[in-house]
Structure 1
Amino acid sequence: ARDGRQSAAPGKETEIAGCEGARGALVDGVPVHSVRSMGYVASQEVVFGSMGQTLTIRHDSWDRTSYMPGVLLGIRSVGGRQGLIVGLENFME
């Protein structure tokens, strides 16, 4: 590419069978990378970039207690619903 970036997202050459798309998957033209490693409970990072700058938003959970109430709410609520439901807020009262 003209701006120095590779045309394909890096990492695909080292992907493990069964984990395709974890590194360099394109979602609506945006490269998305996923890290699966021991010690990671939950970590999300979004990086927006432009010429000479980036804006990073990051969230880390170091213990499952931070999201288990939502998991349990979803599990307990899904039996009474039909169809595809997107968003935990649909189960909150």
Structure 2
Amino acid sequence: MSGWLEEFWIVLCHSSRTQLAIASGLFFFVGILLMGQVFVGSLELHGPLAALTGVVREKLMHRYDKAAWAALASFGLLAVKTYRKDRRHLLGA
């Protein structure tokens, strides 16, 4: 069982594209969530719409949350694709 784990780490250590895809996914996930917190946190409706501020904030944060998960998933798929390509290149499998 440790053979496949060792193979995984060897390929991952030699695959800079896979490492970059994983790092980018994490960076964009956190970045989009923080950006959403900053933009939505400063949102305040005035007048008769002031009661809807909380609802609008929740809806907008939900959209930022979905965008962050989509970015993480797409970079994850890219990491899998580059890992497979580099595995074939390095190990000839």
Question: If the length of structure 1 is used for normalisation, what is the TM-score?
Answer: 0.22
Larger Rg: 2
Greater relative CO (CA pairs within 8 A, separation 6+): 2
Give the structure with the larger strand fraction.
1
